[in-house]
Amino acid sequence: MITDSFADLISTQRSRPLSIAVTVLGLFVPGSLTLFLSNPDLYTRLGLNGVILLSIAISLPIVMLCFGIWYTPLSAILKAQRLVGGGPAPETDMAKILSADDPIEWPCLLTGAWTANLILYLIAAFAWSHPLRVGATFLLTAVILLGVWFLLFLASAGFYLWAERRAVRSRAV
């Protein structure tokens, strides 16, 4: 009974407060790093609202890229596992596909947010001790993360095609 209660607490599909907390932490905590570790002169130039908007505009793309870096290979592995394991046939109705539960969406968002927090914290800590152009550094970081995601996308697509061919060969035999 205790294990069921604990599972219900951490289950993202049944526990709305945890889902809301994951979303808030995933999207807005990386932005707070920019707020707390930025140069105080930034507040006088942009104001508090401007700094909040700037930090969210900087952190949201990085969080989404980190989410994609985690989600893409795990999604390919999950689909390949279902394909090789003889799971149910893929759904063709788009409404059912979009409303279906995704078991890796929330864990990937949380992990992507932790990864983005680490990256943004390291940039902010380095910028505190060494002068650098923060905007250019964030753009370079986003380009590097986009490149990593693209490589993982290609590797995941190749892995899924390999698993699909293997599943077709095993069914033919």
Written as one string, the DSSP assignment of 41-92 is HHHHHHHHHHHHHHHHHHHHHHHHHHHHHHHHHHHHHHHHHHHHTT-PPPP-
For residue 72, the tally of other CB atoms under 10 A from its CB is 20
Condensed to tens digits (0 to 9), the pLDDT of residues 18-30 reads 555 666 666 666 6
Give residue 106's pLDDT.
Answer: 79
Give residue 70's pLDDT.
Answer: 94
**Phi, psi for residue 140 in degrees, rounded to 5:** -65, -40
Domain boundaries, the chain: 2-172
Condensed to tens digits (0 to 9), the pLDDT of residues 28-64 reads 666 666 666 666 777 788 787 887 777 777 778 888 8
Condensed to tens digits (0 to 9), the pLDDT of residues 88-112 reads 656 667 777 767 777 888 788 888 8
More confident residue, 123 or 128: 123
Give residue 161's pLDDT.
Answer: 92
d(CA 68, CA 148): 10
Give residue 15's pLDDT.
Answer: 46
- State yes or no: pLDDT of 16 exceeds 70: no
- State yes or no: pLDDT of 73 exceeds 90: yes
Give residue 71's pLDDT.
Answer: 94
Q: Please state which of the ranges 2-11, 19-28, 29-38, 67-76 shows the lowest mean pLDDT.
A: 2-11
d(CA 132, CA 136): 8
